[in-house]
Amino acid sequence: MKTILGSALSPIVSCAAPASRPLASSANSLVQKYSADRVQLPIILDFHSDDGKREIKEWYRKQPTTRFTRVEHRKDTSGHFRHEFVAVYLCNSTICRFDRRARDDMRGHALKNEGTISEDSAHVITEADTESKARLDESEVLMSTTLGWGKDVDLKFILAVCCGIQSHPEAKSYGLLHYNCYFFSWTLIAIINRRLPRHFGGSLLDKTKQTKSAWGTGLIHPSRPAIGVTSHQEFLLSATNDYIYKGMKKAILDNIPNRLACALDVMLFPSQISFWLKREVPLALQEGSRLGAQQFFDEAKARRNSQFPAPISSGTVNFDVLNSNTSSVMDIDCAYRSLKERAQRQAEKTLTKAYDEMVDTLAADLFIGSDVTSDLVYLVDHRSGCARTAQEYLTERMVDHFKQVEGYGFGKAERSIERVEESMAEIWVSVLGMMKDKSKLSFL
C-alpha cells in the first residue's frame, strides 16, 4: 500500500529528495563575506527564532545587491521528484533561488493533516558556483516575467512574503498535498506580480466608477402589493416601498464603489471581487431598506404633528392624504410597524435576487475591459509560448495539480483551490502590513 501511495503521489507532489538537495545543516553557521565571484551557501529562512532572524539580517546586508529585475518559475526535470522553485535575477548577474522542502528527518509526516516542519531557503548563485549553476540549468523554466525599466524590486519584499508564509497558521507547515513547494512558488509568483505597479487596482477603480449608473438602474422598484392588506395599509406599504427603494439605491451608489476602492488594495486575485460583492451588496441593500423605511416613518409622524410644512424628501408620498385620513398617529405607528418588516422583506428579497444576477456580470465586466487588462503584468508561459496574466497562469497550474490530487482520492479540486487561494490572499494582507510598518520587518 505504501508503494502504491508513493507511486501515485510522486508525479504531482514534491518531497525533499536528498540526492538533489542543495542545503546543508551547517550552512547557517558559516558566515563569510559575500562577493559576486565567490560561492555562497544556501540559508535556511527561520523568521521565528532570534538566531534565525539575525542570520537572515546578516545574509541580506552582506549581499552585493538586493535588487532583481526578472522572475522565473522553474521545475526540476531530473530525479524521481519534480521539485518546483522560484529564481530571481539580481542586478549584478547573480541568481537567487527560493525553495520549500520538508525537513529531512520529518518527511514521513508530510501526509498528515497538520503537515510537518518546512524548510524554506534562499540561495544566491554566483558565476563561481558552477555546480549550482549546472543544477539550475538542468531545470525547466515554466514561466518568466521581466520587470520594466526602473521597476526592479528588492529581495526584502520576497523575504516578507516568506515570513508571511511561515506566519500563516496553515501554510507555515509543509503539507504534501497543499502547502508544498508548489504552493510556495505560486504564492511568490502571485504576490510579486501583485506588487508590481498598478496591476488591476487603478484602472479597476476607474471602471467601477464607470459602472456606477449600472448599480442604480439595476434596482427593481418593489411595487408589488402585499397579500392580505387593506386599501389603507396598501397605500402605506406602497409609500413605504418608495422610500425603501430610494434608501437602497442611495446605499448602493454611495457605499459600494467607495468600499470597493478601499478593498482593492488587499485583494490578491481579481476573482476575489465577485465574493466581495456577494457579501457587501446584500448588506448595503439591508441597510438602505432600513434607513428608507425609517425615513418614511419619521417624516409621516412629523408631518402628522405639523412639525414641518412639507416632507424632507421629494418622495411620492402624499402626506395630505394621510392628514385627511381618520387614522391617528398611533394608527400609522401600528400600521407602520407591522408593514415595515413586510415591506423590507419583500424589497430585500426582490432586490437581492436581482443583484445576485448582476454581480457576476458586473464583476466580469470590471476585469475583461481592455482598459483593465492592458494594465496587467503579463508573464511568458514557456510551455505554450504565450503571454498570460499571473491569474491565468496560476489558475491553470492549480487546476492541473489539484485535479490529479482529486483523482487519487484526496478531496475535491475546487475546494483545494479555494483553500490555497484564500491562504495566499491572507498572506498578501500580512505582507502589506509588514511593508507599511517597517518595525514588523525585524529580520532586516
What is the pLDDT of the chain when averaged over all its residues?
A: 74
Backbone angles phi, psi at 438, to 5 degrees: -60, -20
CA distance 313 to 162: 55
CA distance 120 to 58: 17
Tell me the per-residue pLDDT of 199-220, one tens digit each, with 9 for 90 and over: 444 445 455 555 555 555 555 4
Tell me the per-residue pLDDT of 410-420, one tens digit each, with 9 for 90 and over: 889 999 999 99
Q: For residue 158, which of 64, 71, 32, 92 has the smallest C-alpha distance?
A: 71
CA 50 to chain centre: 31
Q: Is the model more confident about 149 or about 127?
A: 127
Question: In which band, very low, low, confident or very high, does the pLDDT at 241 lie, cut at 50, 70 and 90?
Answer: confident
Tell me the per-residue pLDDT of 181-197, one tens digit each, with 9 for 90 and over: 999 999 999 999 888 75
Q: What is the pLDDT of residue 194?
A: 86
22, 42 contact by CB (below 8 A): yes
State the greatest distance between any 2 C-alpha atoms of the chain, in Å, as a whole number: 97
Tell me the per-residue pLDDT of 120-129, one tens digit each, with 9 for 90 and over: 999 999 999 9
Which burial class, exposed, middle or buried, applies to 77 when counting CB atoms under 10 A from its CB (0-12, 13-18, 19+)?
exposed
28, 44 contact by CB (below 8 A): yes
Write the DSSP assignment of 372-424 as a string of letters.
Answer: HHTTSPEEEETTTTEEEEHHHHHHHHHHHHHHHHHHTTS--HHHHHHHHHHHH
Q: What is the pLDDT of residue 247?
A: 82
Q: What is the pLDDT of residue 109?
A: 54
